[in-house]
Amino acid sequence: MLLRAHADMYAIRRFEEHIMRLFLRGEIAGTTHLCNGQEAVCVGLGYALDEDDVVAGTYRGHGHILARGSEELRLAAELLGRVDGLCGGRAGSLNVFDPTRNYIGSFAIIGGSIGAATGAALALKGTGRVAVADFGDGTTNQGYFFECLNFAKVYDLPLVFSLENNGYMEYTPIGNVTARPDDLAGRAEAFGIETERVDGMDVRAVYEASLRAVERARAGEGPQFLEYRTYRFVGHSRSDPGDYRPEGELERWQERDPLTLSRRALTDELGTPDEDIAAREQEVDERLERAIDAALASPFPTPEELEVLS
């Protein structure tokens, strides 16, 4: 499984590198938020979920969407604003989602994912299905977050709060504007919600903790809270060079790049031959090449669509 996880994380990384390139070439307009560095959360959490579990994510959602199994071609096409996009080009990177994979939204409003997942969990209660609310550290200062912690606990909803703590809002370090920033999970504990802090760079740790939480929620034990400690290796969005980082911080975290960790574990612990890893990576590279090309070949929607609708 680790080899597959490695390949899936690798695919997310490469996919977003393609996206960045398309941006710089002017093929993609507007803005985009990459999860570069946070892939272990996407994949490890994704593996812990069943197909009919439900995920609500954020504008930083490409990785989670791919982890749900959505087609790379269609995701790329969406970011390019093409008809073959997951949302026909209407949504774009900030808002893209894939209801066919039970990924119900990339919420561009901070906290929106939590409200929606809370409602999904309300609808799923008693069905054995679970909903996941994905969000970032900055979101733990938002009203939606707290109200939904209470709401989910009151009705014992099958909801997993998935906090990706990458240490930053857009450009502001979370500690600058947050009380007790080292204990964000403590905010959930105040509601009597079970929490776990997880190494968000280690895909196996993410998977195992996520599975525990998901299974508890599935078993009717009410909402669960996971705090993944992670880091984004790139700026907040396209235009951000990330100057606000203290010197050396990025480099320290890069030593724990989820891809480095998984590659090392594959080699050192499981004795996976380098060629096997390389072969899988090459497979991904080729697949993505094809997907991006196909996405670029997809036409733009015609303006007539709007006239029909309104």
Partner 1 sequence: MIEFRHAIIEALADELAADPSVFLLGEDVAAAGGVFKTTEGLLERFGPDRVIDTPISELAMTGAAFGSALMGRRPVLEIMFGDFMALSMDSLINQSAKWRFLSNDQVTVPLTVRTAVGAGGRFGAIHSQNPGTWLHNVAGISIVAPSTPGDAYGLLRSAVQADHPVLFLEHKRLFSMKGELDRGLVELGTAAVVREGADLTMVSMMKGVHDALQAADVLAAEGTDVEVIDLRSLRPLDLETVVRSVEKTGRIVCVEEGPVTGGWAAGLVGQLAAQALDLLEDATIVSAPDLPVPFSPTLEDAWLPGVERIVAHVRARLAGV
Ligand X SMILES: Cc1ncc(C[n+]2csc(CCOP(=O)(O)OP(=O)(O)O)c2C)c(N)n1
Token pair listed for 154: 């009151």
Of the candidate spans 2-10, 55-63, 80-88, 145-153, the one that interacts with a copy of itself by CB under 8 A turns out to be 145-153
Query: Which of 81, 136, 222, 223 is the binder for Mg ion (CB under 5 A)?
Result: 136
**Pick 85 or 138: Cβ nearer Mg ion:** 138
122 binds, among Mg ion, partner 1, ligand X, none (CB under 5 to 8 A by kind): partner 1
Query: Which of 18, 90, 125, 153 is the binder for a copy of itself (CB under 8 A)?
Result: 153
Per the DSSP assignment, residues forming a β-bridge with 198 are: 228
Q: Among 107, 130, 167, which Cα is nearest to 49's?
A: 130
Q: Does 166 bind Mg ion (CB under 5 A)?
A: yes
Of the candidate spans 102-110, 190-198, 237-245, 250-258, the one that interacts with a copy of itself by CB under 8 A turns out to be 190-198
Q: What is the CA radius of gyration of the chain?
A: 19
> Phi first, then psi: what are they for 240, rounded to 5°?
-100, 115
Q: Does 191 bind partner 1 (CB under 8 A)?
A: no
Q: Does 169 bind ligand X (CB under 6 A)?
A: yes
Q: Does 89 bind partner 1 (CB under 8 A)?
A: yes
**Pick 177 or 279: Cβ nearer ligand X:** 177
Q: Does 73 bind partner 1 (CB under 8 A)?
A: no
Query: Which of 8, 137, 202, 257 is the binder for ligand X (CB under 6 A)?
Result: 137
Closest separation in Å from C-beta 236 to ligand X: 6
Of the candidate spans 49-57, 70-78, 84-92, 191-199, the one that interacts with a copy of itself by CB under 8 A turns out to be 191-199
Contact pattern from residue 236 through residue 275 relative to partner 1, giving x for each residue in contact according to CB under 8 A and a dash for the rest? --------x-------------------------------
**Pick 36 or 166: Cβ nearer ligand X:** 166
Which residues of this protein are in contact with ligand X, per CB under 6 A? 60, 108-110, 135-139, 166, 168-170, 236
